[in-house]
């Protein structure tokens, strides 16, 4: 049932109910079989405002939506690429409203600034589903959100680093970290940066610098080149996604330094987030990335489940987090414990690589 038909369905339901209550022999008003057939065959049109194509994670996310919402299943998916600009995404949503799509799916570039356009969608009675990053708008302006716990991802990375340093007898005050941040104001940046700041506060590591790398390889490289010019004692690089890590690794190797986990021998250790491709797994296998917190991009099936619930007149859970693994080059830290939950570390092997594309 589409949104409009849902309205129709509700009307019929109310009619049937009131007739049932009145119960005075009037003709029963139910949805005819023909109408039902017509409803079930109607195409569901989804406008997806994707924030950009900045990373491997993003490509996998777009792909998951495309693979899920296919025409043979009765969907029409319209994708608009915001190119990392909120103004483009707002324009896309307005276009979807004009097109009178059945659902709007929004993967927002940053958390703030969505109220007006979401209000417009509500006025047009188009349900909005938020995926990946969050919006800080009033909860009544969207149906639900599906994505990752970015704070938890940050905490996992920090706890793993702590355990690693302890087992290698490396004192906290010898740890010199730089942070290549994601797009400022994006949930993934906020959660991962906060995780690091908490760790720095708790363990007393030296945080030398933090600069935005926009989740891209090119910017990651540029930022790392600057850091290497400014500091000669960096031994940990905290990259807020894998593409930034790839760029940082290039910069480190070009400078003549070595990436790897042997901090005591002068390596620069790379820590990263996402772990969605075979390429990342290869980097972990080679100890170019020593630890990566996984971030699940396969939201298509989850969004479809939400749409099916809404179609059936049900209320989806307001917030649903997805499960994520953590990966490392070796088994120095076999698992970490956070708030009573144990997270096993997957040591990457050639077999692990085969699980990825």
- Judged by CB, which is closer to ligand GYE: 175, or 186? 186
- Judged by CB, which is closer to ligand GYE: 165, or 188? 188
- Judged by CB, which is closer to ligand GYE: 213, or 260? 213
- How many angstroms separate the CA atoms of 161 and 312, rounded? 46
Asked if residue 288 binds ligand GYE (CB under 6 A), the reply is: no
Minimum CB–partner distance for residue 179 and ligand GYE (Å): 14
Per-residue x/- mask for ligand GYE, residues 5 to 44, rule CB under 6 A? Answer: ----------------------------------------
By CB under 6 A, the residues from 248 to 277 that bind ligand GYE are 273-274
Asked if residue 299 binds ligand GYE (CB under 6 A), the reply is: no
Minimum CB–partner distance for residue 39 and ligand GYE (Å): 35
Minimum CB–partner distance for residue 196 and ligand GYE (Å): 14
- Judged by CB, which is closer to ligand GYE: 70, or 85? 85
- How many angstroms separate the CA atoms of 190 and 185, rounded? 6
Asked if residue 155 binds ligand GYE (CB under 6 A), the reply is: no
- Give first-to-last CA distance, the chain, whole Å: 35
Minimum CB–partner distance for residue 287 and ligand GYE (Å): 21
Minimum CB–partner distance for residue 345 and ligand GYE (Å): 19
By CB under 6 A, the residues from 93 to 152 that bind ligand GYE are 132-133, 148
Minimum CB–partner distance for residue 357 and ligand GYE (Å): 16
Other Cβ atoms closer than 10 A to 318: 10
Asked if residue 327 binds ligand GYE (CB under 6 A), the reply is: no
- What tokens were used for 203? 């363990």
By CB under 6 A, the residues from 37 to 76 that bind ligand GYE are 54-55, 57-58
Minimum CB–partner distance for residue 188 and ligand GYE (Å): 4
Position of tokens 């809404």?
310
Other Cβ atoms closer than 10 A to 135: 21
By CB under 6 A, the residues from 208 to 237 that bind ligand GYE are 215
By CB under 6 A, the residues from 164 to 203 that bind ligand GYE are 186, 188
- Judged by CB, which is closer to ligand GYE: 6, or 215? 215
- What tokens were used for 51? 């924030």
β-strand pairing of 269-274 with 319-321: unpaired
In the complex, the residues that contact ligand GYE under the rule CB under 6 A are 54-55, 57-58, 132-133, 148, 186, 188, 215, 241, 273-274, 295
């Amino acid at each position: 049932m589409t949104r409009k038909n849902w309205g129709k369905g509700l009307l019929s339901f109310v009619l049937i109910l009131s007739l049932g209550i009145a119960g005075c022999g009037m003709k029963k008003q139910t949805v005819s079989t023909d109408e039902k057939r017509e409803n079930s065959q109607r195409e569901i049109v989804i406008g997806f405002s994707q924030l950009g194509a900045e990373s491997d994670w993003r490509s996998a996310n777009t792909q998951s939506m495309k693979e899920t919402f296919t025409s043979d299943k009765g969907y029409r998916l319209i994708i608009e690429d915001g190119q990392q600009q909120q103004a483009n995404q707002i324009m896309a949503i307005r276009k979807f409203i004009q097109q009178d799509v059945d659902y709007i799916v929004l993967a927002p570039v940053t958390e703030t600034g969505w109220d007006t356009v979401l209000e417009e969608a509500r006025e047009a009675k188009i349900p909005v589903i938020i995926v990946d990053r969050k919006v800080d708008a009033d909860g009544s302006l969207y149906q639900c959100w599906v994505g990752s716990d970015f704070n938890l991802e940050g905490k996992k990375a920090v706890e793993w680093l702590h355990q690693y340093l302890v087992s290698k007898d490396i004192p906290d005050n010898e740890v010199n970290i730089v942070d290549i941040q994601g797009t400022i104001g994006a949930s993934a940046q906020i959660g991962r940066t906060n995780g690091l700041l908490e760790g720095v506060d708790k363990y007393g590591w030296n945080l030398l610098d933090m600069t935005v790398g926009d989740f891209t390889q090119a910017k990651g490289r540029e930022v790392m080149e600057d850091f290497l010019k400014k500091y000669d004692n960096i031994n940990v690089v905290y990259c807020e996604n894998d593409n930034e890590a790839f760029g940082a690794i290039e910069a480190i190797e070009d400078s003549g330094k070595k990436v790897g986990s042997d901090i005591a021998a002068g390596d620069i250790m790379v820590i990263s987030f996402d772990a969605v491709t075979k390429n990342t797994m290869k980097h972990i296998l080679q100890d170019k990335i020593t630890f990566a917190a996984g971030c699940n991009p396969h939201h298509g099936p989850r969004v479809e489940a939400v749409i099916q619930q809404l179609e059936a007149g049900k209320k989806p859970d307001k917030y649903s987090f997805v499960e994520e693994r953590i990966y490392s080059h070796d088994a120095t830290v076999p698992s970490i414990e956070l708030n009573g939950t144990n997270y096993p570390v997957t040591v990457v092997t050639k077999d692990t690589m085969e699980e990825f594309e």
